[in-house]
Amino acid sequence: MTAAPGRRVLILGGARSGKSAAAERRFSPDSRVSYVATGGDRPDDPEWVERIAAHRAARPAHWRTVETVDVASVLAGATGPVLVDCLTLWLTAVLDEAGGWDDRAWSQGRAKDLVRARIDELVAAWAAATVDVVAVSNEIGMGVVPDTASGRRFRDELGWLNQRVAAVSDEVILVVAGRELRL
């Protein structure tokens, strides 16, 4: 990445839009990037295993992979460039941990408070990053309204997360059909 240290870039797009490839291109081939994979392992899902293998094969072998949902800690301790792929899967894991898919837990505030605290923590770490950071996230608010409360909750929370990260980013890019549009 040719930008000054501490530059924060958010890359948004739909499924298979090319957003991950766009994020990876932000770094020079010789950069020592910490690639934060937030999707987790799903060994019983062959299609997921295939997707993960394709992502791994696409990035340079000298990049360090960190599989975690504790993105805030990685950002806080980073001494070199970081690529987070992706905030959508991060939010899914956070909702899982908080019991946020349960309508009752959400309406009573327990799950909502836990999710919002994790989002606050992530946004604060993103804003405070002293190294170059790029994050990928899905833009899912442009389509059909989900017919379940938990689906609408996820869409809404991801929309709020994307807005908050974008607000403290130096650059935001929307990827559509492999084309990058600076916002």
Q: Would you list the domain boundaries of the chain?
A: 8-182
Catalytic (active-site) positions: 55
User: Tens digit of pLDDT for each residue in 141-151?
Assistant: 888 889 999 99
More reliable by pLDDT, 54 or 160: 160
User: Tens digit of pLDDT for each residue in 38-97?
Assistant: 977 777 888 877 877 787 787 788 999 999 999 999 999 999 999 999 999 999 999 999
**8-182 homologous superfamily:** P-loop containing nucleotide triphosphate hydrolases (3.40.50.300)
> Would you list the DSSP string of 100-146?
TT-HHHHHTTHHHHHHHHHHHHHHHHHHH--S-EEEEEE--TTSPPP
Give percent above pLDDT 90 in the chain.
77
Record the pTM.
Answer: 0.91
